[in-house]
Amino acid sequence: MHIEMLKIFCNIADLGSFSKTAEKNFISQSAVSQQLAQLEVAHKCQLINRKKRPIELTKPGQVLYQASKDILDRYEQLKSELNALKSSTGSRINVAAIFSIGMHTLPSYVKKFMVSYPNVNVHIEYFSAARIYEMVLAGDIDIGLVAVPKRDKRLEVYEFENEPLVVVCSPKHPFSRESQVDIHRLQFERFVAFEKDVPTRLWIDTILGRYNIVVRPVMEFDNIETIKRAVEINSGISILPQTAISQEVAGGTLKAVDLSNDKFVRPTGIIVRKDKLLGQAGRYFIELLRKAGDREQGIGDRRK
């Protein structure tokens, strides 16, 4: 019996849908049906009630589901243990980050890490926050870096950097001539926003809502780089992390303007699966990243 077959069976039970299971595993719906049929033939029993919608497990199906979950969890733990046994020399740490953190914040930490572990490859890939959570939980990556981290009982979540938020505008915009603006002046401004399911969008909407500010979203994108390009051509203003626009500000294509009402920040975080066993190099890399969060916390405490 293949591990992948058990995984697909658990997905059918969890999602209650053959089509969603096929989409999640990047296979056809008929392949999902065939995998289930093979399990039923192997165990000589019906595992799901096909007359029910959404799909329901039979009693034998419930027994197999619980056992499969245990097997899959143990298998992931086994993979982690085997990876942890590998020597730090020549090993690799797989990191997934949202684009802004991976491009603008993470490189300095990788440089510090390489001083102590020059033979360890820190492999960084860029994904959406939702995809990073999925990959961390699946054990496909070692460490995830996201904005506005959410709590999950299956994850260890550590604070990373608090990124200062600023109003970003084109040099042609009236705000560009000012060093600070009151947040109330953003009322009804044309606004280039993140898409609604992006955590940073929800965070910024909360800040604006706190001051009863209504902006006019004219464009919505899922990443900072595209937002910056839209702001550069004066399609509207935006609110972005200062770390992500330093290059454009230096080049004169964007202007960063502080908000005078408060020191607004975007929290970022490190996520690791709770049962993930990391080698010495991986633990050291997390320690480096966590020191940034500890410093930010200390600054926040002093401000209080």
pTM for this model (two decimals): 0.68
Fold entry, domain 88-161+267-303: D-Maltodextrin-Binding Protein; domain 2 (3.40.190)
CATH superfamily of domain region 163-266: Periplasmic binding protein-like II (3.40.190.10)
Query: How far apart, in whole angstroms, are the C-alpha atoms of residue 76 and residue 177?
Result: 55
Instruction: Provide mean pLDDT across the span 158-186.
Output: 97
Query: How far apart, in whole angstroms, are the C-alpha atoms of residue 116 and residue 180?
Result: 42
Q: Please check whether residue 138 is in contact with residue 269, taking contact to mean a CB–CB distance below 8 angstroms.
A: no
Fold entry, domain 3-84: Arc Repressor Mutant, subunit A (1.10.10)
Residue-wise pLDDT tens digits, 181-206: 999 999 999 999 999 999 999 999 99
Query: How far apart, in whole angstroms, are the C-alpha atoms of residue 166 and residue 180?
Result: 9
Question: Do 3-84 and 88-161+267-303 agree at the fold level?
Answer: no
Query: How far apart, in whole angstroms, are the C-alpha atoms of residue 76 and residue 3?
Result: 10
Domain boundaries, the chain: 3-84, 88-161+267-303, 163-266
Tokens 């979203």 correspond to what residue? 217
Residue-wise pLDDT tens digits, 215-255: 999 999 999 999 999 999 999 999 999 999 999 999 999 99
- Cβ neighbours for 54, distance < 8 A, ≥ 6 positions apart: 16, 17
